[in-house]
Amino acid sequence: MNDREKILEVKNLKKYYPAKHGNYLKAVDGVTFDIYRGETLGIVGESGCGKTTCGKTCIGILPKTDGTVYFRGKDIHRMTRKQRFAFTKEVQMIFQDPYASLDPHQKVYNIIAEGIRIHRLAGNKTEEQKMVLELLEMAGLLAGHASRNVHEFSGGQRQRIGIARALSVNPGFLFCDEPISALDVSIQAQIINLLMDLKKEKDLTMFFIAHDLSIVRHISDRIGVMYLGKMVELTDSDTLYDHPLHPYTEALLTAIPIADPDISAGRKQMILEGEVPSPVNPPQGCRFAGRCKKCMGICHDTEPVMQEIEPNHWAACHLYGRKEK
C-alpha cells in the first residue's frame, strides 16, 4: 500500500464548534489517515461520531479548526481561487438525501449540464447534449428523463441523477456521504453496485461514509472506525470484519444481522451499556471507557494513541500496550 500514490493526506484534523460557557463541541478531534489512488476508504460509526463532519472538512466544505489536509500535495484549506476551481472539478460529492440535494423544480438536463457549462467541457450544444445523455445512461436512467423535472422521480432515481451530476465534470475523487441511508432497502444494493461499477470503469478514488458496516465492507478496500470524534481502528475491510482489535468495533460487528439462522443463533451480541459521553466534555482517557467491558484503570486516565498493532492494522486501545517506534 505504501508505494501507491496518496491522493488525500489527513493529519491531526480537528473540527470544533463553539458551545456554551466558552466550551467547544469537538466533532472531529485529531484524526489522521490517508487515501490512496484507486481505493475506497470507508468510515463507519454511530450517528454523531463525527464521520460526516470529518469528510466535509476533508474536502473543504467546512473550515478546519486545526491539522492539515492535502489533496495531491496541495493544502485544501489554503487554496487560491484558481486552485479551488480546479479542485471542484477533480473532487465531487454525492449527498445523503437526494430529496434535499436536488432542486425539485429543475429539469434533469440542466442539473447534469451545469457542471459541464461551468468548466466549459463541451465545445458546443450538440456535444453538451451528447455528454448529458451518456451520463444518464451511465447512471442507469433513460434519455427521456432529461426533459423531466426532478420532483417526478423516486428517491433511487434522484440519487442516480445526483451521481450523474457528480460525474458530469469527470472527477477522479468521489466523497459519498451516506448515499444510501435515505433510500429503501430494495434500492440500496442497486446504488452500491452502480458506484462499484463506476469506480472500476472510471478508475475513481472514493471516500465513503456510512453507519452500516456490512454495506461498507462490500464497497470498501479499507475501513476506519470513528467514535466520538476519534479514529479508533483502521485496516482493510476483510481484516476488520474477521479480526477486529478495538472493543467498539467488536460491538458494531456483532450488531450486523446474519441471514443464516444457525450462525446467528450461535453468535453472542455485545450490548453496549451506558451513554455516549458529551463531545463538549469528553472523558480524560479513552472516550469508550465508560461503555467498554474490557476497560482497565489506565483507560480512565490516559488517552490511547493510534498505533500499528499488526501490519497495516491500526487501533487506539490500551489492551495492546504502547508499541515502541
Residue 183 banded pLDDT, cuts 50, 70, 90: confident
Helix axes 155-167, 108-118, angle to 10 degrees: 20
**Strand, helix or coil for residue 43:** strand
Q: Which three cell numbers stand for residue 286?
A: 479513552
pLDDT tens-place string over residues 191-230: 999 999 999 999 999 999 998 888 899 999 999 999 999 9
Which of the pair, 62 or 274, is modelled with greater confidence?
Answer: 62
Provide the mean pLDDT of the chain.
91
In terms of pTM, does the model score above 0.75?
Answer: yes
Mean pLDDT of 29-44: 97
Q: What is the DSSP secondary-structure string of 120-133?
A: T--SSHHHHHHHHH
Pairing of strands 222-227, 230-236: antiparallel
Question: At 89, which helix (H) or strand (E)?
Answer: helix 81-90
State residue 201's pLDDT score: 94
Given a contact cutoff of 8 angstroms between Cβ atoms, the answer to whether 7 and 37 are in contact is yes
State residue 1's pLDDT score: 47
Which of 62-71, 92-101, 140-149, 260-269 bottoms out in mean pLDDT, i.e. has the lowest? 260-269
Residue 2 banded pLDDT, cuts 50, 70, 90: low
State residue 114's pLDDT score: 96
Residue 265 banded pLDDT, cuts 50, 70, 90: very low
Give yes or no for residue 27 having a pLDDT over 50: yes
Contacts of residue 90, defined as CB under 8 A and 6 or more positions apart, other chains included, come to 71, 72, 171, 172, 173
Residue 55 banded pLDDT, cuts 50, 70, 90: very high
State residue 263's pLDDT score: 46
Q: Look at domain 6-319 and name its CATH class.
A: alpha beta
State residue 261's pLDDT score: 53
Which of 119-154 are b and which e, b meaning 16 or more Cβ less than 10 Å from the residue's Cβ? eebbeeeeebeebbbebbebbbbeeebbeeebeebe
Backbone angles phi, psi at 139, to 5 degrees: -85, 5
- Cα-based torsion angle of the residue sequence 63, 217, 255, 240 in order, rounded to the nearest 10 degrees: -90
**Residue percentage of the chain with pLDDT more than 90:** 80
Mean pLDDT of 177-201: 91
Mean pLDDT of 270-279: 80
Q: Most distant CA pair in the chain: distance in Å?
A: 69
Locate all alpha helices (DSSP H) within 139-236, ordered by sequence: 155-167, 185-202, 213-219
Mean pLDDT of 53-58: 97
Residue 31 banded pLDDT, cuts 50, 70, 90: very high
State residue 269's pLDDT score: 64
State residue 185's pLDDT score: 85
Q: Which three cell numbers stand for residue 135?
A: 451520463
